[in-house]
Amino acid sequence: FGMTENYIVFVEQPFKLDIVKLATAYFRGLNWGNCLKFDENDI
């Protein structure tokens, strides 16, 4: 996501966020990068 004086830019990427992993990441010792999943079907 970005903004200029005349435009708003939204970049779509085929990553999905696993909410359960994100909610329990601190307790399981994971970083937020491990909570992302690459979905090849979304390309």
pTM of whole model > 0.75? Answer: no
Q: How far apart are CA 35 and CA 18, in angstroms?
A: 5
Domain coordinates in residue numbering, the chain: 12-42
Query: Over the stretch 14-25, which tens digit does the pLDDT of each residue have?
Result: 888 889 999 999
pLDDT of residue 14: 86
Return the amino acid letter for 26. Y
Q: How far apart are CA 2 and CA 16, in angstroms?
A: 20
Over 90: is that where the pLDDT of 6 sits? yes
Q: Considering the chain, what is the average pLDDT of its residues?
A: 87
Mean pLDDT score, 2-14: 87
pLDDT of residue 43: 63
Q: How far is C-alpha 5 from the chain's CA centre? A: 26
Find all residues with CB under 8 Å of 18, minimum gap 6, and list them. Answer: 35, 36, 37
Q: How far apart are CA 41 and CA 6, in angstroms?
A: 33
Return the amino acid letter for 42. D
